[in-house]
Structure 1
Amino acid sequence: MKNKKVRFPLFVLFVILMLIVQACSTGTKGSIDGSSAEVKNENEGGTLKVLIKSDATSLDPHFITNLYTASIIYQKVYETLVVPDKNMEIQPGLAKEWKQIDNLTWEFKLQEGVKFHDGTDFNAEAVKKTFVRLLDLKTNSPQREKFSMIKEVKIIDDYTVQFLLSEPYAPLLSILAANEGSIMSPKLFDESPAQIAKSPVGTGPFKFEAWQTGKQITLVKNEEYWGEKPNINKVEFKVVPEDTTRLAAIETGEAHITDQVPVSEIERIENSTTMKLYRTDGLGAEFIGFRTHKPPFDNVLVRQAISHAIERDSIVSGVFNNVGKLGNSTMSPKVFGYSENVNPYEYDLNKAKELLKEAGYPNGFEVTLFTPDIKERVSMAEVIQSQLKGIGVDVKVEMLEYGAYVATHEKGEGHMFNSIWGNATGDGDYNQYSLFHTNSIGAPGNFFHYSNPEVDKLLEAGRKEMDPEKRKEVYEKAQMIEMEDAVYIPIRSHEHLAAYNRNVSDLWVNPVSYLMLNDVKIK
């Protein structure tokens, strides 16, 4: 009896020890094959909270016309055939390789085994359907003109497509890498066309989950992503209009990132123990624009007079706290085709008054200037209002929520506007053709309603010219004519700012100003 009593507990102990060893062994095996690591990443990945000032205007890449909206889905939900790296050099994306067969033919070999978020296969047919939809006049996309040189997308086999052009187009790769070139699920076009603007379906590392209008857009990690999966499990883009509220939430850790930072808050961020400031030179440029089709700005002398009456240096230093650099065109120095030889109008009130008198407005006039409700842009509008009083011009400033402000461009409302054009490709064509060609008047980008046959011919030539140095000469000449016509007043080249909590790491903003989130980690 005594021996039995001893053997029984020993047997139980042996069984318990074997179970512990087995459990430890299973855990070790899991960490090697990745299953345990995945669970760990699920626990540590977390939800990234990004605060944005205004809601998205649309989630359809063929209709998005502002960078803040595009940043929500670009290379997150949707992907492109090719992608720009941190230096805007073109790299493989949904196309693993490509070649230019001749001036009119480009061939792309596609990645295999990729699926859209709805389970549809990514293949040549999906690429073709995306661009057929974009180029269809019935679609009425404001982005169509950027791709108008594409005559046909030809399917060679399931994973090979050719772009057949109607004319040579030097920066084709750069526009295919932009948000406008996003490849969309063909199932959307066939079954849910009305939902495209609200429920995007791409191939990207994040899947669209929900859009609470005016409040929040939510993306979740795509567990079946064909490339390297993101570190975080979910991204919430929360609409918080007030600048101070956004920063307070970053500072307390309630949220993680905002990339719409007033320049007046730089010192506060830099002195904070819980926030960090991200700064990078961008491709965008800030300017004051004229609606050249509306009196009195249909008169070039009036536009030149206003240009002479704006003291730009004081705006860059006083309003923008010397963030960014004094501009000389609508191009940033980082954009291909930029020229330092373009000379803006010098500040000269006497010359401004002379030109107004010559134009038939010796006593000035009243005009409306539209501005989005962004702190420094409102301040800039108020400074311009004050400066133009010196030549008898009475400026009424109208501040609008960003979505409403964008709508004024499409309708051509008001007389003046302050704007920033963010170049999405790094190439001068995206800037010049979109802003100044007659075909781009309205939503595509020519908010000035400017039309000059000589400039049109130059911009068309710039698209076709394959010699980079000759292209630069073309764009320099076009910019000089635009400046002579006083279509706009350059203010500054853009520097992008983002504030983020110190618990966030591996954040970066690409030169276009898009938040890149795949590598982001939350401690």
Structure 2
Amino acid sequence: MSQDTKRSSKVLNRRRLLQGAGAAGVAALAGCSSNGGNGNGNGGNGNGGTDQIQFPLEIQLETNADNDDRVQLVELIAESMEQTGYFETSVETYEWNTYSGRVLDTEYADEGHIPCIGLSGTFNPGSFCDALHHSSNHGQCCNLVGVSNAELDDMIDSARFGSTEIAEDPEARGAAYDEVWRMLADERYSSITHFGLNTAVANMNVHGFASYPFDETVYSYALHAPFDEQVAWLDESGASPNDTDLSDLQEGGTLRVGVGANIDSFDPPYSTDTTSTMAQGFIFEGLTATDAEGIVYPWLAESYELVDTNDIERVAYEDYMITVDADEDGVIDTEEQVIVQHPEDDPVADDEVRVLTPEEAADAVADDVFGMQYRYELHEGVEFSNGEELTAEHVVNSLRRYENSDLSAQTFDSVLHIEEVDEYTVDIFGQVVDAEGERELPGFLIFTEEQAQAEGGEIDPRQEFTPIGTGPYVLDDFSDEQFAEYERNDNYWLEDIGVENLEWFDGPSDFPNAPVIERLELEIIPDNATRSAALQNDEIDVTTGLTSATLDDFDESDDFFVYSVEAGGYDYIQYPLDVEPWDDKRLRQAVNHLVPREAIVSNIFAGWASEAWTDIPELARGAGTADFDALEDEIRPTNEFDPERAAELIEEVIEDRGYPMN
């Protein structure tokens, strides 16, 4: 381990755990505690066969050190496992950037550890199963342990893709997702512990603030979101935020924001962490925007429409595909973006596979072979902050920059092709009918011509390449691991067009055309306690991600406001299913019964969260289940804290596989 890897190793301290989580959280657990094991991978038993595996099984749980709630959550789960007598656990914590790089490495799946991480889902119910479990997301976000189940892939895809009925009938789509949730409950590749509330704590000088379901857009949404008539401003008069409204809005000022992690990248297709996405959101924009209820609105596009659909399957592209080699690990030998892989080919089992790359995709579209066609009419006269006018060519080249990027799997699970119709019109084609097409097909950000041609990861001030977008702010100064400062974009396009001229806007005539806060100062303060102190000492005006105990203190204070909304964010652990004995789903089911969800929510998060009795939160239930109450009644028993059932399952594994018990 190199010296610059900031790592701490923790063996469980039961006294500290009980103080932090509450004795009620572990009181019902049977068995005796023991010190942690060596965490040497493969269930702590090396790389050998069955004869080397024995119980108590040594297992290492891992998470990021800079999230106190998450560390405590992992320690509670580890202690719960220990108390059965079947496990010897240790908890390993890492600095965030080290940890995210570690668990997203495709070789991490072979180490036999149990990682815990948080993820922000979307209004698309698929984001609560796809990211964790679809084989295409291994090494991207956030299939950490190499889940690869062709049947499950097909089920996830079928709940979104390829059917006009699914696209047009939420009940039919919900029924398809119900089958996914049932399979996940049975296979138990992951355990989602809870769904969080998105909370922001602000000083009294911050007025008009509102939280948003997703961490990465909390601040950009609060500053200015015409579709929800949302705008924040600063008021130094001492008036309470409860006593002011839009008529009291004040221009100018500097909003000081405390953020909990470094901005790892300013290059959108080459970053996957929340803080980087948040920092990019002040600068870059997309063709569409989404309100707090998930409704999609035109944004850089003045309007858009669904032009055509064809009920086809991906096998329809067979005649346009080329054949490429695949190695023994299933890696396809092509430098081109794979848009579609032939559904009948298996790159692990086959030496060659048939694929569709961007060139062949264009040929298919020319022959009217596609699933969906959306047309976007751009606002004329929109300029980037450097004065470059936005045209259809920028949109086309921006999407192409996502090819083979860190976000390629999520982008090209739906997109087939993009083409320029005229200077201000683009068509985006979907591979098949996509129930999320309206939201997902334009789900990329728009770059200047120079940026669209940049190498991956190059758009970054650390590379002396300042990011430039159409957004309401421009990056003014940046110091790695210290701060990022923005100033309002004086050339913001919406100032010229006016929100009242947006076809869908029906808000008040005095609603501002842009954010009214002049400057943003993002202070990078990874430690929660330090960030909380900075807020109390008036060194920052607002922050998110504070520990739940701290939130209670702020909520009870007359000097601060806590803004919260049910979030799409969730924490989860994943099991090393390809490492024996975790390849037996009964062991995974057993540990899931040792996740004390109620204790996690009440004792660690102090009620600022909700138990994940199913894998889908409220904000995605509309198209994510046919009958949520029935689904919860069916699946909740598989997620209940039940040490006795866990012991039964573990005993079955030990007996059937002949593992010794010391």
The TM-score bracket by the shorter chain reads 0.5 to 0.7
Work out whether 1:149 is the aligned partner of 2:409. no
Q: Secondary structure at the match of 2:269?
A: coil
Map 1:70-85 → 2, pairs under 5 A:
70-74=277-281, 76-85=282-291
Query: How much has 1:310 moved relative to structure 2?
Result: 2.2
Which of 108, 117, 126 pairs up with 2:376? 108
Alignment of 1:269-288 (within 5 A): 269-288=554-573
Inter-CA distance 191–305: structure 2 relative to 1 (3 Å threshold): closer
Q: Per the alignment, do residues 68 and 177 of structure 1 end up closer, same or farther by CA in structure 2, a change over 3 Å counting?
A: farther
Supply the distance in 2 between the matched residues of 1:360 and 1:310 (Cα, whole angstroms).
Answer: 21
Show the 5 A alignment for 1:372-383: none
For structure 2, list consecutive stretches of 5 or more residues without a partner in the other structure: 1-249, 310-371, 495-512
Aligned letter for 1:337? A
CA-to-partner distance for each residue in 1:415-473, whole Å, 9 max, x for gaps?
A: xxxxxxxxxxxxxxxxxxxxxxxxxxxxxxxxxxxxxxxxxxxxxxxxxxxxxxxxxxx
Distance across 2 between alignment mates of 1:142 and 1:257: 30
Judge conservation of contact 2:475–2:486 (CA < 8 Å) in 1: yes
| Structure 1 stretches of at least 4 aligned residues deviating more than 6 Å after TM superposition | 361-365
Q: Is the Cα–Cα contact under 8 Å of residues 401 and 453 in structure 2 kept in the other structure?
A: no
Amino acid at match of 1:66: D
The alpha-carbon deviation at position 239 of structure 1 amounts to 0.9
Provide the TM-score with structure 1 as the length reference. 0.57
SS at 2:590's partner residue? helix
2:267 alignment counterpart:
60
Aligned positions of 1:438-477 closer than 5 A: none
Alpha carbons of structure 1 residues 268 and 252: separation in structure 2 relative to 1, 3 Å: same
Check whether the contact 1:79–1:202 (CA below 8 A) recurs between aligned residues.
yes
d(CA) in 1 for partners of 2:374, 2:422: 15
Q: What's 2:480 paired with?
A: 213
Written as runs of structure 1 = structure 2, the 5 A alignment for 1:334-373 is 334-335=619-620, 336-339=622-625, 340=628, 341-342=631-632, 343-344=635-636, 345=638, 346-360=640-654
Task: Report the residue type matching 1:338 in the other structure.
Answer: G
| Cα deviation code 1:329-371 (max 9, x no counterpart) | 3321111433330514232222211211222289999xxxxxx
The residue identity in structure 2 corresponding to 1:173 is E
Q: 1:249 aligns with which of 530, 534, 552?
A: 534
1:156 shift after superposition: 0.7
Distance 1:186 1:364 in 2: 63
Counterpart AA for 2:579: K
Given candidates 492, 500, 504, the residue that maps to 1:225 is 492
2:618 to 317, 322, 333: 333
Following superposition, the deviation at residue 260 of structure 1 comes to 1.3
Give the secondary-structure state (helix, strand or coil) at the position aligned to 2:401.
helix
- Closer, same or farther: CA 176–238 of 1 in aligned 2, 3 Å: farther
Structure 1 residues 260 and 55, CA gap change in structure 2 (3 angstroms):
same
Report the secondary structure of 1:48's partner residue: strand
Moved more, 55-64 or 157-166: 55-64
Aligned partners of 2:430, 2:380: CA distance in 1, in Å?
Answer: 25
Larger radius of gyration: 1
Distance 1:168 1:362 in 2: 45
Report the secondary structure of 1:235's partner residue. strand
In 2, are the aligned partners of 1:81 and 1:176 still within 8 Å (CA)? no
Relative to the length of structure 2, the TM-score reads: 0.45
> CA–CA distance in 2 between the matches of 1:146 and 1:152?
11
Larger RCO of the pair (alpha carbons < 8 Å, separation 6+): 2
Q: CA deviation at 1:97?
A: 0.5
Distance 1:327 1:193, change over 3 A: closer
Q: How many residues align?
A: 320
Corresponding position of 2:458: 195
User: Hey, what's the Cα distance between the residues in 1 that align with 2:568 and 2:541?
Assistant: 25
Counterparts of 2:299 and 2:409 in 1: how far apart (Å)? 22
**Whole-angstrom CA distance in 1 between matches of 2:452 and 2:398:** 9
Q: What is the letter of the counterpart of residue 189 of structure 1?
A: A
Asked if residue 160 in structure 1 is aligned to residue 454 in structure 2, the reply is: no
Change in 2 beyond 3 A, CA 1:174/1:289: same
Cα distance change of structure 1 residues 295 and 192 upon mapping to structure 2, 3 Å threshold: closer
Cα RMSD, aligned residues only: 2.7
Contact preservation (8 Å) 1:252, 1:274: no
Aligned mate of 2:546, from 246, 261, 265: 261
Give the conservation status (yes or no) of the 8 Å contact 1:353–1:362. Answer: no
What's the counterpart of residue 498 of structure 1? none
Distance 2:268 2:549 in 1: 32
Cross-structure match for 2:293 = 87
Identical aligned residues as a percent: 24
Q: Which amino acid aligns with 1:333?
A: E
CA distance 1:355–1:69, change in 2 (3 Å): same
Match of 1:306 among 576, 591, 607: 591
Q: How far has the Cα of 1:105 moved from its partner?
A: 0.8
For residues 361 and 257 of structure 1, do their structure 2 counterparts lie closer, same or farther at Cα, with a shift above 3 Å needed? farther
Shift of 1:116: 1.3
Identify which of 162, 173, 182 aligns with 2:445: 182
1:188 Cα deviation (Å)? 1.3
Distance 1:364 1:222 in 2: 67
Q: Is the 8 A contact 2:270 2:456 kept in 1?
A: no
Q: Residues of 1 paired with 2:442 and 2:427: CA distance?
A: 16
- What is the CA distance between 1:171 and its match in structure 2? 0.8
Match 1:123 to one of 364, 371, 391: 391
CA–CA distance in structure 2, aligned partners of residues 72 and 265 of structure 1? 25
1:45 aligned to which of 252, 276, 280: 252
SS at match of 2:593: helix
Amino acid at match of 1:215: Q
The one-letter code of the counterpart of 1:221 is R
Q: Distance in 2 between matches of 1:144 and 1:120?
A: 30
Distance 1:212 1:363, change over 3 A: farther
- 1:193 Cα offset (Å): 6.1
List aligned pairs for 1:234-245, cutoff 5 A.
Answer: 234-245=519-530
SS at match of 1:152: strand
Distance 1:361 1:284 in 2: 39
Report if the CA contact (8 A) 1:150-1:164 is conserved: yes
With over 3 angstroms needed to count, the CA separation of the structure-2 counterparts of 1:300 and 1:265, relative to structure 1, is: same
Separation in structure 1 between the aligned mates of residue 612 and residue 432 of structure 2, nearest angstrom: 33
Residue segments in structure 1 that go unaligned for 5+ positions in a row? 1-42, 366-390, 393-523
